[in-house]
Amino acid sequence: MAECHPVGFQWVMEAKDRGATVIHIDPRFTRTSAMADLYVPLRAGSDIAFLGGIINYILSGEKYFREYVVSYTNAATIISEDFQDADQLDGFFSGFDPKTGTYDTTSWAYEGMETAAAAGSRAVAGRQPPAQAGGGGDELGGRGAALPHSEVRRDESLEDPFCVFQILKRHYARYTPEMVERICGVPPDQFAKVCEAVTANSGRERTTSWVYSVGWTQHSVGVQYIRGAAIIQLLLGNMGRPGGGILALRGHASIQGSTDIPTLFDLLPGYLPMPKAGVHGSLDDYLTSIKSDRQKGFWTAADTYVVSLLKAWWGDAATPENDFGFGWLPRINADHSNYQTIVDMLDGKVEGYFLLGQNPAVGSANGKMQRLAMSRLQWLVVRDLNLIESATFWKDGPEIATGEMRTEDIATEVFFLPAAAHTEKDGTFTQTQRLLQWHHKAVEPSGDCRSELHFFYHLGRMLRERLETSALDRDLPLRQLVWEYPLLQGDEPDAEAVLREINGCHLSGEKAGQLLNSFVEMKADGSTAGGCWIYTGVYSDGVNQSARRKPGSEQSWVAPEWGWAWPMNRRILYNRASADPAGRPWSERKAYVWWDEAAGKWTGHDVPDFQATKAPTFRPEPGIGGPDGLAGDDPFIMQSDGKGWLYAPSGLLDGPLPVHYEPIESPLRNAMHTQQSNPTREMFPRTENLSSPSPPDLGAEVFPYVVTTYRLTEHHTAGGMSRWSPYLAELQPEFFCEVSPELAAERGLEHLGWATIVTARTAIEARVLVTDRLTPLTVGGRVIHQIGLPYHWGVGGGGAIVSGDSANDLMGVSLDPNVHIQESKAAACDIQPGRRPTGAALPRFVEAYRQRAGLSVDTGTTRITPPGDGT
């Protein structure tokens, strides 16, 4: 956090000054470690074992927050007797289909709900995302999956052998401190300190928070890493409370915003799933699938969100008779995420590609595959501040140097359009705590620089002009599209008008034309419009709330009048849980939101994330769904049973509970199960994307070391906003690798010399930084060396101040099945002293490694690991 979010880290330093304990768990010792009370190095890719060990410590040592767990989580809920756990099936849960590599999740369901889950659990086609009730994986951005109803059987004594609590206990019983040491390389005494600190600092009086970034997400089991932390936080009562939570530190100014209003293939604004071919034919089909009227919580109003979105997009053309234009939405039927697109691009299926402030030639895994793919496009549009590598690959890419590509042979037509900077346009960023903050335009962009708002508005205008008289059905959605925005200086669309459309308004009735104040005002009858329901309220009272800048010093510590947080300006989600079931703060020290009996409403420091006047004692009539179905002690109001899910009965594709799997490229055999890696991982076996072998397969010794990537304070991601800046470039001018003195001795690496790092994909060179901040770990009786690589550099032929090889060129593409994120935080490599070969010698050098390791396209693609240890 000190490395990549230094200004956010001021609050950690302040907490520390007030007595907080800071623990840093990371393969390498960073600036964060330097400030931590305890630094715990662990093997990259082993975190679920570590988190599972903590869960086991909490459960076996009776350290959980019982009242919170019983009242606010699904610990008491009874699971189907058909469910079989990974420890019973040697690394698999019940329902695995070896032919498709997917799970039928029927048996994971809550007791009595097995049928409903089964209906949606089959894959649409091959290894495609299943059309689960309510969708799966990434489509569930803000909630658990839908349930057919919320009448669950609970045993609040937590004794029933099929209740979640007992399943959890059995599931994690094998995650002992000894197992943690064997998998993670963390000694038991050090591990005990973490367990003691985390549990001692949780409960009524204290809270613990977990902070993560892509070190947790970029794994073939990344989603389950976060789930592991979620289980800990729910068991310890740390959700919905100040100083608690699981905090995703996001790396870009509006990466949160770009998931809320998604530039993502499987989502519509507000975490509504994209409709699927053959499943969501009509609006009714769609709504039935994403929610049930008998489940609890606010997802039952999804019809109002969807219809308001369709009205925002298609206006008067969206009518009840035509399903509000629902049929005009394009359908997905497979993984259309970026890596699948790249593979399709390699095969010539993609003609045109827009890059909008992103540099995949450096920033995406397997850079060579990215560049080869782009060389097979017909046309490419790059919009950026600088001439990044993705714009110049045809001229100066590493493959030009090796002869694997020739400029004269590349047919790709490239348009580079300079972008406007943040000072040259109005708009909102949504930062890492869901806060929308408006930035005002300071100056006009110079030359041809334009905002994306300008580019896309005018592109849309041109396309509409071209198709004005088209009679084709396919052109109707564009021709009917609401695409009228006031133009300001330089024909720049008015960003406030766009934000007002996102906020939504009344279309008819006495309030026609007025902006919506809250998403609860949305209607499913077409009388309201709103482009993203979770952002409704950003323009409440007709005021751009995101532009509020009341100084922090003039308001409470929650600072509710600075910017605007979705939903409804709530700064901590699920904050009903900051009070006990009776509505009293768990402790005075941690008071945040509570029930005011006299006033008959919830009150506190934040906007209560609960129905304002629903008493804690309220109990709904059985069978009532929606917000009215929430009991007064159901704090998780977006969950279909109102509870925090220790166990996910549906929605995840690789298991209801996190289980330790080895990274796809690992030096070690899985100590937990026969099954080596996540059997449901998404793979792209092809010559451009080879994997190296892991035990029990032979040949792993050719790539004996673990390599991981990360960022430095001085640079920004793929370097497009830092390598072109002299002041930043001079602070970290060269690409380097970090190695321990022990590894340096083992391989003859010299400090400040050069090293060549090789994986199954390619070889790159880096300057050597020998440092005690990297430490060899003893894992499973073996010494494991880890190599650290910051990934900011590239060829930089388009005017970058500094250049170097790209760390991401080393990484392969295999994905977490839930969210299609690649495993690029743990891979297998070799390292040798000296510079890498150049020209045609480089591919030959890599080929020799492949042959020694016996690599083929099939290496590392075995879904079901045969028994044996490979030795």
Partner 1 sequence: MSRWTRTADPAADAGWKNAPPRKGFFTDSSICIGCKACEVACKEWNGIPEDGLEMLGMSYDNTGSLGASTWRHVAFIEQPRRAVAASGLTPLPVVAARPGENRSFDGAETGIRWLMSSDVCKHCTNAACLDVCPTGSLMRTEFGTVVVQDDICNGCGYCIPACPFGVIDRRQGPPGTRNVGIAQKCTLCYDRLGDGMTPACAQACPTQSIQYGDLDELRVRAQHRVDALHAAGVADAQLYGADPNDGIGGAGAFFLLLDEPEVYGLPPDPVVTTRDLPAMWRTAAIAGATLLAGAAVAFVRARS
Partner 2 sequence: MSIRTRVRRWPVLRQLTSGDPLGRGTAVRSAQTEHMMPRTRTADRVIKSICPYCAVGCGQRVYVKGDRVVQIEGDPDSPISRGRLCPKGAASEQLVNSPGRVTTVKYRRPYGTDWEDLPLDRAMEMIADRVLASRERTWEDADEHGRGLHRTLGIASLGGATLDNEENYLIKKLFTAIGVVQVENQARI
**Residues in the site for partner 1, rule: CB under 8 A?**
2, 6-7, 9-10, 13, 16-17, 19, 21, 29, 31, 33-41, 187, 189-190, 193, 712-714, 726-734, 736, 741, 751-752, 767, 769, 771-773, 775, 801-802
Q: Which is nearer to partner 1, 34 or 459 (CB)?
A: 34
Strands 435-439 and 564-565: antiparallel
Which residue lies nearer to partner 2 by CB, 112 or 797?
797
Q: Cβ 737 to partner 1, closest distance in Å?
A: 12
Q: For residue 316, what are the contacts with CB-CB under 8 A and spacing of at least 6?
A: none
Residue 555 binds which of partner 1, partner 2, none (CB < 5-8 A, kind-dependent)? partner 2
State the minimum distance, in angstroms, from the CB of residue 253 to partner 1.
17
Contact between 202 and 208 under an 8 Å Cβ cutoff? The reply is yes
Question: Using CA atoms, how far apart are residues 539 and 535, in angstroms rounded to an integer?
Answer: 9
Binder of residue 421, out of partner 2, partner 1, none (CB less than 5 to 8 A by kind): partner 2
Give the span between the Cα atoms of 708 and 667, in whole angstroms: 13
**CB-based contact 402:796 (threshold 8 Å):** no
Question: What's the CA angle centered on 812, arms 867 and 818, to 5 degrees?
Answer: 75
Residue 469 CB, nearest distance to partner 2 (Å)?
14
- Residues 421 to 460 in contact with partner 2, rule: CB under 8 A: 421-433, 435-444, 446-453, 455-460
Residue 41's binding partner, choosing from partner 2, partner 1, none, with beta-carbon cut-off 5 to 8 A by kind?
partner 1
Q: Does residue 600 bind partner 2 (CB under 8 A)? A: no
**The pairing of beta strand 210-212 with beta strand 246-248:** parallel
List 756's β-bridge partners, or say none.
Answer: 765, 832
For residue 290, the minimal CB distance to partner 2 (Å) is 17
Between 38 and 89, CB nearer to partner 1: 38
Binds partner 2 by CB under 8 A, chosen from 290, 414, 565, 631: 414
Cβ proximity to partner 2: between 192 and 731 the closer is: 731
Out of 15, 401, 467, 624, the residue judged to bind partner 2 by CB under 8 A:
467
Closest distance to partner 1 from the beta carbon of 38 (Å): 5
The answer to whether 785 and 776 have CB atoms below 8 angstroms apart is yes
For residue 614, the one-letter residue type is: K
751's contact among partner 1, partner 2, none, with CB below 5 to 8 A by partner kind, is partner 1
Cis peptide before 567 (omega within 30 of 0): yes
Q: How far is the CB of 838 from partner 1 (least distance, A)?
A: 20
Q: Are 552 and 562 in contact (CB under 8 A)?
A: yes
What one-character-per-residue DSSP string does 611-633 give? -TT--TT--PPTT--BGGG--TT
> For residues 65-104, which are near partner 2 according to CB under 8 A?
none
Distance in angstroms (rounded) separating the CA atoms of residues 535 and 563: 12
Binding mask 254-293 for partner 2 (x = CB under 8 A): xxxxxxxxxxxx--xx----x--xx--x------------
- Report whether 651 contacts 817 (CB < 8 A): no
Q: Which CB, 6 or 542, lies closer to partner 2?
A: 6
- Comparison of 10 and 446: residue with beta carbon closer to partner 1: 10
Decide: 652 and 680 in contact? Cβ < 8 Å.
Answer: no
Interface region with partner 2, contact rule CB under 8 A, candidates 67-75, 170-178, 358-366, 517-525: 358-366
Residue 34 per-residue DSSP state: H
The 301-330 site mask, x for binding partner 2 (CB under 8 A), equals ------------x-------------xxxx
Please state the length of the chain: 871
Q: Which two tokens stand for residue 571?
A: 């700064």
Does 142 contact partner 2 by CB under 8 A? no
Q: Which of 21, 333, 674, 856 binds partner 2 (CB under 8 A)?
A: 333
In whole angstroms, the minimum distance from the beta carbon of 263 to partner 2 comes to 3
837 binds, among partner 2, partner 1, none (CB under 5 to 8 A by kind): none
The pair phi, psi for residue 610, each rounded to 5°, is -165, 160
Q: Show the site string, 470-509: x = touches partner 2 by CB under 8 A, - = not.
A: ----x--xx--x-x---------x-x--xx-xx-------
Cβ-contact 220, 664 below 8 angstroms: yes
**Using the rule CB under 8 A, which residue among 35, 559, 582, 857 binds partner 2?**
559
Q: Is residue 251 involved in binding partner 2 (CB under 8 A)?
A: yes
CA distance 787 to 359: 24
619 contact choice in partner 2, partner 1, none (CB below 5 to 8 Å, kind-dependent): none
- Residue partners of 184: CB distance under 8 A and separation at least 6: 42, 43, 46, 47, 49, 50, 53, 777, 779
Joined together, the tokens standing for residue 517 give 């104040």
Q: Which is nearer to partner 2, 179 or 463 (CB)?
A: 463
d(CA 188, CA 555): 46
Residue 322 interacts with, from partner 2, partner 1, none (CB under 5-8 Å by kind): none
Least Å from the CB of residue 41 to partner 1: 7
Q: Give me the residue label for tokens 């690789």.
A: 654
Residue 830 in tokens: 């070799």
**Residue 31 binds which entry of partner 2, partner 1, none, CB below 5-8 Å type-dependent:** partner 1
**Nearest CB to partner 1, comparing residues 39 and 110:** 39
Task: Tell me the C-alpha distance between 629 and 619, whole Å.
Answer: 8
Selection from partner 2, partner 1, none that 169 binds (CB < 5 to 8 A by kind) is: none
Angle subtended at Cα 654 by Cα 650 and Cα 655, rounded to the nearest 5 degrees: 55
- Taking every pair of C-alpha atoms in the chain, what is the biggest distance, in angstroms? 80
Identify which of residues 114 and 496 has a Cβ nearer to partner 2 in the complex: 496
Alpha-carbon distance of 567 to 671, in angstroms, equals: 43
- Nearest distance, CB of residue 684 and partner 2, angstroms: 15
The H or E element spanning position 35 is helix 31-35
Q: How far is the CB of 566 from partner 1 (least distance, A)?
A: 26
Interface with partner 2, residue 728, by CB under 8 A: yes
Class of residue 663 by CB neighbours under 10 A (exposed 0-12, middle 13-18, buried 19+): buried
Q: Does 540 bind partner 2 (CB under 8 A)?
A: no
Is position 358 an interface residue for partner 2 (rule: CB under 8 A)?
Answer: yes
481 binds, among partner 2, partner 1, none (CB under 5 to 8 A by kind): partner 2
The encoded tokens of residue 450 equal 């334009």
797 near partner 2 (CB under 8 A): no
Which of these, 732, 799, 737, 786, lies nearest to 763 by C-alpha position? 737
CB of 604 to partner 2, least distance (A): 18
Which residues ranging from 6 to 45 are in contact with partner 2 (CB under 8 A)?
A: 6-8, 10
Torsion angle in degrees (nearest 10) through CA of 147, 153, 158, 163: -60
Token code pair at residue 754 = 């050069």
754 interacts with partner 2 by CB under 8 A: no
